[in-house]
Structure 1
Amino acid sequence: MDYKKIVKSRSLRLKILQIFSFIPDKVMLKIQYRIKTGRKLNLNNPQRYTEKLQWYKLYYKDPLMVQCVDKYDVRDYVKSKGLGDILVPCYGVYDSVDKINWDMLPRQFVMKDTLGSGGNSVVIVKDKATADLAQLALTARKWLNNRAHCRNAGREWPYYSGKNHRIIIEGYIDSDEDRGGLIDYKFLCFSGKAELLYVLADRVIGQEAGCGFFDLEFNQLPYKESDEPPLRRVIPKPENFDKLKMAAEMLADAFPCARIDLYSEKEKIIFGEIT
């Protein structure tokens, strides 16, 4: 079933899933797997990567994951790996909108929900002078009102382990829109070893991005992401690709499976997130 043709709006799909948050994780994952793949989910002896991911969600309960899904707390983990220099500047983390001093923020910044995912809880401010600060505050309050124990759409337990949503404000990363904007290198790692990556370019936050898969020699592979359109441009191999891969593996070595998101602007590595 191509459910995306039935419900085209991603935000509406997420709202529908939220209505069914009372359904236990195991039952909901089986339902979602059947709808998305047309197959029965095998949790007793998972063979496919997609099956193993569902098993991972249900049964792998490392507390470190709770720290690493939080966009503020993960910074300490990155620093513990000796990679503090790849962190974006942080201007503050807030549990109340009233604590945000908008006047003290720079002209450009990025506001996020610390427990947001999928690019849905990100606002990029390129010019504070023309930004609607009242709307920013309203958006931030909406994020803060998300319930700490409410199951998320993908049933990823660290996101609803009881931690409260907060607002983090970080530095804006400038990039060249004519060259694909801020290019996202997403390394898929297993037991601390990168096996392949996919790259996102020409991204529209919360909507879509061109996507392509690459091997570790940066040869593009004949695969596609069902949720995203293919890359619309040729992405050259970064000059610092080996350093990107090394940083990804250092950050992933604590987990059986992790996706490490990194950026590279002017050959400087910048941390994105761990999934």
Structure 2
Amino acid sequence: MKKLFKYLYKRTKVGHIVIQQFINLHNFYLNRVMSEKAFAKRGFRKSFNREVDLENPKTLNEKIVWLKLNDRTPVHTICSDKYAVRDYIEKRIGEEYLVPLYFQSKDPNDIAPENMPNHPFIIKTNHDSGGGIMVRDKSSIDWKQVQKGLRKRLKKNYYYSSKEWQYKNIEPRIIVEKLLLDQNGDPAKDYKMHCFNGEVIMLQVDIGRFSGNHCRNFYNKEWQRQPYRWPSPKENGKLTNPSDYDVEKPQNLQKMISLSESLAKDFSYVRIDWYDVNGKLYFGEITFHTDGGNRPILPAEWDRKLGDMLILPNHPSKN
């Protein structure tokens, strides 16, 4: 039956129209009607083929789901806003760690070559999750298409597709920042500090983020390779599995850890992202619920081991 619907949807005009209506209704129910708790339980079930235990969460993913539903403050929204977080970072650790901001606007029509710098930059929206538009040469860009895409993104409230509360009340805008490149002209490596109760526990390194060879390695604070993986799907359908080689220890590792722990002290679980560009450290972003708690950590025993290290706030089990 599934193959028949797929055939009708892709190969016949009437089938496509009719089935698309059912898809639209289904998505409306998921995004606008279904409760946050039911939505979270559904997502976990699809990923793990079992029910999430919210009464006594044990694995790291279960605890992330619990936090997604129960741990909410205005600061979560500020830190999830890629524009508002700049002021937060400046006050907490200093403006020297901010990626240079070239332009910001709420109007996609403002994103035009005359308002853009003459060196590489990246265009982002502040209110959703995902990458931006990397521009190395603004004369080679179809600006009408860029504006069209941004117009579409600004109209979307990311909360309704993720049901992550912190995104719900972010005022959408466009930001243009310096494109951080390494000495080879490639996008700088992305270092992600997973902090549990104010301490860096997992160090994630993303390599080749904008290529088909995107890999993801995990280390501890001593820069020792860890025996687990926590992959996400890439655009080509493959996963961000570990590389077959080690990444050189970043020059600013200890500083990165210290600053991350300073920023993380107010949160149970948080991921602080950094770029180390030729010895200069830049803040990337703050994430509270990595992959929504819906991506398996493998081997599965490590989901539980890491979960044991995270203590939830105001939870009866306190584990």
On whether the aligned pair clears a TM of 0.5, the verdict is: yes
Structure 1 partner of 2:165: 157
The unaligned stretches of length 5 or more in structure 1 are 1-14
Structure 2 partner of 1:24: 35
What CA deviation, in whole Å up to 9, does each residue of 1:193-224 have, x standing for no partner? Answer: 1112111001127x772001101000111111
Deviation at 1:192, TM superposition (A): 1.9
SS in 2 for 1:204: coil
Determine which structure has the larger strand proportion and give its number. 1
Tell me whether 1:62 sits opposite 2:73 in the alignment. Answer: yes
| Contact 2:128/2:157 (<8 A) preserved | no
| Contact 1:210/1:232 (<8 A) preserved | no
2:279 to 261, 267, 270: 267
Deviation at 1:144, TM superposition (A): 1.3
1: distance between equivalents of 2:63 and 2:189? Answer: 28
2: distance between equivalents of 1:191 and 1:174? Answer: 32
Structure 2 partner of 1:230: 242
Structure 2 partner of 1:135: 145
2: distance between equivalents of 1:171 and 1:226? Answer: 28
Larger radius of gyration: 2
| Contact 1:92/1:169 (<8 A) preserved | yes
1:37 to 36, 39, 48: 48
Deviation at 1:47, TM superposition (A): 1.5
| Contact 1:113/1:165 (<8 A) preserved | yes
1:125 to 126, 135, 139: 135
Deviation at 1:102, TM superposition (A): 2.9
| Contact 2:179/2:187 (<8 A) preserved | no
> In the comparison of the two structures, how many residue pairs are matched?
254
Of 20-29 and 228-237, deviating more is 228-237
Aligned AA (2:224): N
1:16/1:82 CA distance change after superposition, 3 Å:
farther
2:203 to 185, 189, 197: 197
2: distance between equivalents of 1:246 and 1:259? Answer: 13
| Contact 2:111/2:143 (<8 A) preserved | no
SS in 2 for 1:139: helix
| Contact 2:192/2:274 (<8 A) preserved | yes
Aligned-pair identity in percent equals 31
2: distance between equivalents of 1:181 and 1:231? Answer: 17
2: distance between equivalents of 1:269 and 1:16? Answer: 46
1:166 to 173, 184, 200: 173
Deviation at 1:101, TM superposition (A): 5.0
2:224 to 194, 219, 227: 219
SS in 2 for 1:36: helix
TM-score, length-scaled by structure 1? 0.86
Aligned AA (1:62): T
TM-score, length-scaled by structure 2? 0.74
Deviation at 1:251, TM superposition (A): 1.7
What CA deviation, in whole Å up to 9, does each residue of 1:126-175 have, x standing for no partner? Answer: 11011111111111111111147x5233x211112x22321111111122
The unaligned stretches of length 5 or more in structure 2 are 1-23, 233-239, 288-319
User: Relative contact order (alpha carbons < 8 A, sep ≥ 6): 1 or 2 greater?
Assistant: 2
